């Protein structure tokens, strides 16, 4: 089955270059009308120009597609609301959000200024929140929506020098988990994409002989699946160089420790068993943790009787 976006409208943020540009071009090639958003700033978020977004719009139009440019900062909720209204005024609906806008202000935590920590969270996390919040009533009313949030292995697993970026990217996973649950009744499916690609943010990290393999285009198939009508929900796909993996936040079977005065010592003694990944699960929601602890308590009570 070929993924088809005919009749769909997509907003892609941070789409003036790199991954976002490839996402916008791919959606347009498959029939979507695309609002291309990009502030046009530098990697660290400074500056701004509508030139980058317009250049991608020109590419889409030259290929016979429909597109609009938008230069709003995703940190400005009023501007994001106006961006959504721009798409609605032109096309009457918005079906897909690919939240891709981001910046880097890397530094070891000891040397990082709090202002740089806050700004990275503001762009990555609150930028995605602003877009989701502005689009949520639209998607609820039309009873259809596909939201792709851009997370990162830095959030899932950590990267030296990226405490701000990693915190923001893992926060997006938490946002996905709840929005997917709340959006289910209106067929709003929310997923995360963790890309590995050589872009202006990351190209210095790759050996020269691997730059071509890790082109942004290699991440696009995972985005298209997560943005499609057949998309899953509450899924984290990691993609790069043609490989795709799924990441999960899991819960082990755990051990009953009790709440007695020696509970800390009991936990230390049984920590390996608590961390044992045999039989771990992917919880259906946050209440699963409490349910598992209730199971352990009941098993202990039955065993003591």
Which positions are annotated as active-site residues? Answer: 165
Alpha carbons 222 and 247: distance in angstroms, whole number: 13
Task: Report d(CA 219, CA 244) in Å as an integer.
Answer: 9
Dihedral, CA atoms, 4, 6, 10, 15, nearest 10 degrees?
Answer: 70
188 in helix, strand or coil?
A: strand
Length of the chain as a residue count: 305
CA neighbor of 188 nearest in space, from 137, 127, 154: 137
Question: Who's near 18: CB < 8 A, 6+ residues apart?
Answer: 197, 199, 200, 201, 216
CB 107 within 8 A of CB 161: yes
CB 236 within 8 A of CB 173: yes
Three-class secondary structure of residue 14 per DSSP: coil
> What Rg do the C-alpha atoms of the chain give, in angstroms?
21
Coil, strand or helix at 297: helix
46 in Cβ contact with 73 (< 8 Å)? no
Q: Pairing relation of β-strands 243-247 and 145-150?
A: unpaired
Q: Are 132 and 101 in contact (CB under 8 A)?
A: no
**Distance between CA atoms of 271 and 254, rounded to whole angstroms?**
9
């Amino acid at each position: 089955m070929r993924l088809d976006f005919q009749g769909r409208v997509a907003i892609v943020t941070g789409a003036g270059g790199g991954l976002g540009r490839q996402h916008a071009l791919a959606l347009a090639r498959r029939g979507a009308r695309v609002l291309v958003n990009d502030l046009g700033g530098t990697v660290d978020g400074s500056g701004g120009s509508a030139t980058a977004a317009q250049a991608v719009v020109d590419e889409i139009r030259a290929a016979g597609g429909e597109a609009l440019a938008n230069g709003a900062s995703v940190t400005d909720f009023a501007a994001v609301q106006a961006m959504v209204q721009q798409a609605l005024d032109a096309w009457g609906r918005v079906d897909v959000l690919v939240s891709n806008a981001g910046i880097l202000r890397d530094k070891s935590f000891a040397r990082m200024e709090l202002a740089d920590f806050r700004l990275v969270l503001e762009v990555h996390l609150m930028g995605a929140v602003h877009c989701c919040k502005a689009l949520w009533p639209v998607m609820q009313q039309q009873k259809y929506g596909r939201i792709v949030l851009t997370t990162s292995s830095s959030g899932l697993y950590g990267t030296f020098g990226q405490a701000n970026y990693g915190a923001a990217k893992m926060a997006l996973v938490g946002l996905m988990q709840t929005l997917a649950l709340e959006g289910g009744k209106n067929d709003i499916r929310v997923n995360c994409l963790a890309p590995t690609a050589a872009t202006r943010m990351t190209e210095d990290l790759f050996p020269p002989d691997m730059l071509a393999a890790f082109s942004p285009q290699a991440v696009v198939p995972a985005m298209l699946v997560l943005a499609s009508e057949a998309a899953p929900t509450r899924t984290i796909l990691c993609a790069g160089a043609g490989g795709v993996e799924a990441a999960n936040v899991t819960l082990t079977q755990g051990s009953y420790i009790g709440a007695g005065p020696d509970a800390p010592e009991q936990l230390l003694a049984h920590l390996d068993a608590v961390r044992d990944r045999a039989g771990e699960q992917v919880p259906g929601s946050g209440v699963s943790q409490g349910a598992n602890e209730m199971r352990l308590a009941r098993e202990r009570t039955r065993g003591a009787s």
